[in-house]
Amino acid sequence: MILHSQFCPIIIPKEIMKKTSILLSVVLSAFIVNAQTADSAITQGSANDVYYSFKTSGVAEVDKSTWDIALNTAAFDASILINESAGVELYSYSVDTSEWNSVDTAGFHFENEYNSQESWSDGAFVRLATGHPDYGWGTYNSGNHDVNGSRLFIVKGRDGNFYQVVIEKMSAAGVYTLKIGDLGGANTSNITINKKDAAYANKNFVQFDLSSKSVLNQEPDTKDWDLLFTKYIAMIQAGPDLVPYPVSGVKINKNYQVAERNGVDNSSNDTSSLSWNENITEIGSDWKSFNMGTFAYDIVEQRTYFVRGNGGAVWKIYFTGYKGGATGGFYFNIEQLRSSVSVKESYKLASKLYPNPASGSFTIENNENKKIDVTISTLMGGVVNTTEIYPNSLEVIDALGLTSGVYVVTISTGSKVSTERVVIK
């Protein structure tokens, strides 16, 4: 679930944008690389998560039996995952956190909450969110920009034991406060985790072990992997219903895009008519099916996936086999189709947004000499408006249809991106 750092309005004088802290701006022309490589990722019977890099053919094999929950480290994100691949289960017990010392599960009907199949920002702990200011596990405070815990959860850990958990707070400064104990409140501990800690700054998530109440730092840096070979809960069609079912499949890194192509030979590199999306399980698991006659897995023929990374590189991947059981082996071919190197300038765009806070409407001025693209999103990541503003002009944004709250305004042009917030009264 997308959140915020501390709010400040967008007021960017034109002269500021001229001199900025430029890290590097290098854009190399795209080129085609025709070398095809056969590769594999072995999860040891789903005992490991395999973080895979197209460039290095593997980054890290991580023992998935070491953690129960994982907290998002991004500045604008309060998503918290459960370790579905290790059998962790999450249940909402009460919206009254004061019941901590009186939890009674006798006769209680549990309803599981699962991680989203579509977004890293929609972990199990936020799936009950109803929209701003409710973020599932907590409620946003518009005064200090903290998210304060508003729900008591019960977690079945990977060790089979049950724990009660309240995410008491995620401060505007990025510090999580967790309250963890045994059922009934015994052995209660208060844990703080700073998502801005240097050890986690370059990761997507920081993991936590409920049994030892310890923080774990085991996934590779975000920039060092493209695909995650793992086990997760998917909603599978069973008759007229969708039912949760554990599958072995593939997830993409955050902010990546995938396109699926069917009915064309895998050797074709044509991507001209593809539809791209950021669904993290777009590759998923349905490229294979179990054959009850041969007791082996069949691979869907002429299905190819194309993966586009943050830097614009495009890779082709198609599967040639899968072996279940104690192996957990994914077998595939990869080919790099496009390579680009683009390190963006790190500076504020010459834009203004006013008034802020706003009611009814607000204005965005484009003081760049180029067209800017504007995306307005909820703190949960849902896009509510997109527009483009031509050079040295302005546009009035209609906010009458928006509920009160904080929205994320992303302004981009070429290699430059600025993300700010606007408050709608």
Q: Could you tell me the pTM of the whole model?
A: 0.75
3-state secondary structure of 124: helix
Contacts of 55 (CB under 8 A, 6+ apart): none
When pLDDT is cut at 50, 70 and 90, the band that residue 352 belongs to is confident
| CA separation for the pair 73, 230 (Å, rounded) | 20
What is the percent of the chain where pLDDT is above 90? Answer: 60
Give the range among 104-113, 175-184, 321-330 with minimum mean pLDDT. Answer: 104-113
Average predicted confidence (pLDDT) for the chain: 86
Q: Is residue 351 predicted with pLDDT exceeding 50?
A: yes
Domain with CATH 2.60.40.3080 in the chain: 16-26+347-424
Q: What is the pLDDT of residue 82?
A: 98
Q: What is the pLDDT of residue 1?
A: 62
When pLDDT is cut at 50, 70 and 90, the band that residue 179 belongs to is very high
Give the range among 74-78, 121-125, 190-194 with minimum mean pLDDT. Answer: 74-78
Q: What is the pLDDT of residue 402?
A: 85
When pLDDT is cut at 50, 70 and 90, the band that residue 15 belongs to is very low
Instruction: Give every strand in the sheet of 48-52, ordered side by side.
Output: 60-63, 48-52, 227-238, 241-252
| CA separation for the pair 308, 227 (Å, rounded) | 11
Q: Are strands 60-63 and 48-52 parallel, antiparallel or unpaired?
A: antiparallel
Q: Concatenate the DSSP letters of all residues of 153-174 into one string.
A: EEEE-TTS-EEEEEEEEE-TTS
The answer to whether 341 and 28 are in contact (CB under 8 A) is yes
Q: Is residue 133 predicted with pLDDT exceeding 50?
A: yes
Q: Is residue 405 predicted with pLDDT exceeding 90?
A: no
State mean pLDDT over 357-364.
87
- Residue range 242-265, pLDDT digits in tens: 999 999 999 999 989 999 999 999
| CA separation for the pair 274, 271 (Å, rounded) | 6
Q: Is residue 136 predicted with pLDDT exceeding 50?
A: yes
Contacts of 202 (CB under 8 A, 6+ apart): 221, 222, 223
| CA separation for the pair 238, 245 (Å, rounded) | 10
The CATH code that applies to domain 16-26+347-424 is 2.60.40.3080
Query: Per residue in 130-144, is it b (16+ CB within 10 Å) or e — as a string?
Result: eebbbbbbbbbeeee
When pLDDT is cut at 50, 70 and 90, the band that residue 359 belongs to is confident
The residue to which tokens 């040891």 are assigned: 44
Q: What is the pLDDT of residue 380?
A: 56
State mean pLDDT over 98-107.
91
| CA separation for the pair 330, 61 (Å, rounded) | 14
When pLDDT is cut at 50, 70 and 90, the band that residue 413 belongs to is confident
Q: Is residue 302 predicted with pLDDT exceeding 90?
A: yes
What end-to-end distance do the CA atoms of the chain give, in Å? 22
Overall size of the chain counted in residues? 425
Rounded alpha-carbon distances, angstroms, from residue 102 to 36, 70, 164, 167, 184: 60, 26, 11, 18, 6
Amino acid at 400: L
